[in-house]
Structure 1
Amino acid sequence: MAKADKAGAKKLPQDPTQQLDLRPGQSIELLKALHILTRDGKINQDSRRKLKQVYHLYQFIEPLLKELSADEHADGGPAVTLADHGAGKSYLGFILYDLFFKALGRGQIYGIETRAPLVEASQALAKQLGFDRMHFLNMSVAESTRVESMPERFDIVTALHACDTATDDAIAFGLEKKARAMVIVPCCQAEVAACLRETKALSLTRTPLAELWRHPIHTREMGSQITNVLRCLYLEASGYQVTVTELVGWEHSMKNELIVARFTGNRKRSAAERLQQLLKEFGLDRLAETRFRLPAAAPTTQD
């Protein structure tokens, strides 16, 4: 029963979805299918945090999609393509399609995920919703680079909390596919921290900076920080303009760093030099030939 206010008028029950700050045009049925909303339109705190993260990420991706889709439409070239790495349940991909690609009427989204049940569920949901320009591949990010059925080039590459080195593989994918933009939210990364642990004794005798990663908890945090700094320098040395900011408030996620890289073609010599210097300083030289391998041609700009 609706309650009466002091004047005697009855208050109508409030639609719970009105309190969710949903994006205009957002499909309620999609959010229910993704289990972000319950059948009666309610949301729990975990789902609210997840939706907030995806919406914030959409806020950064939407302008890129508008710009690139306008370019391809004017040029009459192939429709805009987006690869979502470490897609999980594909919250990001489905919401991107629902809010942008569906109305656009062209363009493709590829979700890459290693867990087969999640890929199968996403394929079934895309079919159910008629999202026929969504594709899902059950494989690692590294494997997807070599799949012949994938487009030769991608306009945008995203990775939302792709675990460990999957973020680095997503960056490598973007470089290989000549991505015009990359939008990355890094997750945990153990590779650099492991290297720091291996060389800790030698580093402690060589430089007082090694005190920054002498204790295990500091090794983990320093490894994460150094990794993201190296990733940004690597992207700049590869011809991208890089912006680093927060995704959402720290109360929503501890893995909150957002890296947005746009291709300009100006490969910075200074970034390449600093990348090499940092790898040497932290005893990470071997990663120069694997994770952060730069092309043989000299970078084009000094700044």
Structure 2
Amino acid sequence: MKAAHHKAVAKPSGKSAPVTSAELSELRPGQSIELLKELHILTREGRLNQDSRRKLKQVYHLFNFIEPLLQELSADGHSPTLADHGAGKSYLGFILYDLYFKALGRGHIYGIEWRADLVEKSRALAQQLGFGRMSFLNLSVAESTEAAGLPERIDMVTALHACDTATDDAISFGLQKQARAMVIVPCCQAEVAACLRQGKALQLARTPLAELWRHPLHTRELGSQVTNVLRCLHLEASGYQVTVTELVGWEHSMKNELIIARYTGQKKRSAQERLRAILREFGLEQALGARFGLPVPADDIALPVG
């Protein structure tokens, strides 16, 4: 009887395979490998897998929209300032600094985040990488407008998935800081859906259009859609040229809408009129009129007694 022969199992060497030139070619020139590892866009070994390729695609696609705006803001030696609202781990801010501000040699990025632990981690990473022109403020978006740690004017405002009313707060911040550009990826916003559920759209409720929000899922989707339309009209009425597009590679999320606003100074009266009309049709004038820059209707102003 022959003794059984067992194949030797190869033991891991403990060394990772070197990063290939093909993988490096997928990165932008000058890109920090250390940063991409910290952001989990690259694996710990500095490799690209299926998930990291998807993340890299998202990052570069978004950067392609923002880079031309930064180039405009950097003309004639200007030092651009950028405020990133709802920054979280400052994923976007770090990428923008690495791909643009680092080589530019001037300008400043402000990351605004209400969670203190994330702010501390971002500060530590910026110091580790030598990204000296990045600051991180432990503030809500609403608080940031009057914050002493920010300049009176900000050139660009970004907000990626700032939840609920924080997206509107970021737009309000941009208007007050006279931002020349805003790049917004809106997030969930529940107020319009709540108003629809409460039956405030009385005129539309008597028409077949009420079917648009009869089911809860449709109510949320319609509320989100109406809110983003109102945001765009508000920006146009405030003197911005607005483009709405889709983020490629973010198909797994329904929140893949991108709003890009460039300041032209040409305030559209028609945009304000349409904004008011939509608010009126949906019964939202009292709840949201002031947020979108409209005066409170006379009927809602309390008159003095006596």
Normalised to the residue count of structure 1, the TM-score between the two structures is 0.86
Helix, strand or coil: the match of 1:232?
Answer: helix
Q: Post-superposition shift, 1:276? A: 0.1
In 1: Cα distance, 2:205 partner to 2:70 partner: 50
Partner Cα distance (2:98, 2:205) in 1? 56
How many residues align structurally?
A: 280
Sort the Cα spacing of 1:250 and 1:30 in 2 relative to 1 into closer, same or farther, 3 A: closer
Instruction: Report the Cα distance in structure 1 between the residues aligned to 2:67 and 2:291, rounded to whole angstroms.
Output: 29
| 1:199 matched to 2:202 | no
Partner of 1:301: none
Offset, 1:34 = 2.0
Matches within 5 A, 1:1-303: 15=20, 18=23, 21-43=26-48, 45-71=50-76, 73=77, 79-199=79-199, 202=202, 205-249=205-249, 251-294=251-294
Pairwise CA RMSD: 2.2
Return 168-177 or 21-30, whichever deviates more: 21-30
Counterpart residue type for residue 174 of structure 1: G
1:111-146 superposed Cα distances (whole Å, 9 cap, x missing partner): 011111111100000011111110011111010111
- C-alpha distance in 1, partners of 2:29/2:129? 18
Distance 1:47 1:254, change over 3 A: farther
Q: Distance in 1 between matches of 2:204 and 2:294?
A: 29
Deviations 1:27-63 (CA, angstroms, capped at 9, x unpaired) = 1111112232222113455544333222211111111
Report the counterpart of residue 301 of structure 2 in structure 1.
Answer: none
Query: Shift in Å at residue 192 of structure 1?
Result: 1.4
- Does the 8 A contact of 2:73 with 2:155 survive in 1? yes
Q: Counterparts of 1:139 and 1:45 in 2: how far apart (Å)? A: 35
Q: Using the TM superposition, give the Cα deviation of residue 20 of structure 1 relative to its aligned residue in structure 2, in angstroms.
A: 7.7
SS at match of 1:131: coil
After superposition, the Cα gap between the structure-2 partners of 1:17 and 1:292, relative to the gap in structure 1 and judged at 3 Å, is farther
Separation in 1, partners of 2:291, 2:51: 34
Letter in 2 for 1:231: R
SS of alignment partner, residue 242 of structure 1: strand
Query: What is the CA–CA distance in structure 2 between the aligned matches of 1:14 and 1:46, rounded to whole Å?
Result: 16
| 1:223–1:239 Cα change, 3 Å | same
Contact in 2 for aligned 1:183/1:258 (Cα 8 Å): yes
Amino acid at match of 2:82: L
Aligned counterparts of 2:212 and 2:125: Cα–Cα separation in 1: 47
Structure 1 residues 132 and 249: CA distance shift in structure 2, 3 A: closer
Q: Quick check: 2:161–2:185 contact (8 Å CA) kept in 1? A: yes
1:242 is matched by which residue type in structure 2?
V
Look up the SS of the partner of 2:136 in the other structure.
Answer: strand
Q: Output one character per residue of 1:227-262: Cα deviation in whole Å (capped at 9) or x when no partner.
A: 110000000000000001111145343211111000
Give yes or no for contact 1:82–1:108 (8 Å, CA) kept in 2: yes
Q: Deviation digits for residues 83-127 of structure 1, max 9, x if unmatched?
A: 011111111100110111111111000001111111110000001
Cα distance in 1 for residues equivalent to 2:201 and 2:236: 32
Judged with a 3 Å threshold, the aligned counterparts in structure 2 of structure 1 residues 198 and 147 are, in CA distance, closer, same or farther, namely same
Q: Which runs of 5 or more structure 2 residues have no equivalent in the other structure? A: 1-16, 297-306
Assess if the C-alpha contact under 8 Å between 2:111 and 2:136 holds in 1. Answer: yes
Q: 1:290 to 1:53 in 2, by over 3 A?
A: farther
Task: Give the counterpart letter for 1:66 in structure 2.
Answer: Q
Change (3 A) 1:49 1:291: farther
- For normalisation by structure 2, the TM-score amounts to 0.85
Against the structure 1 CA distance between its residues 212 and 28, is the aligned structure 2 distance closer, same or farther, given a 3 Å change threshold? same
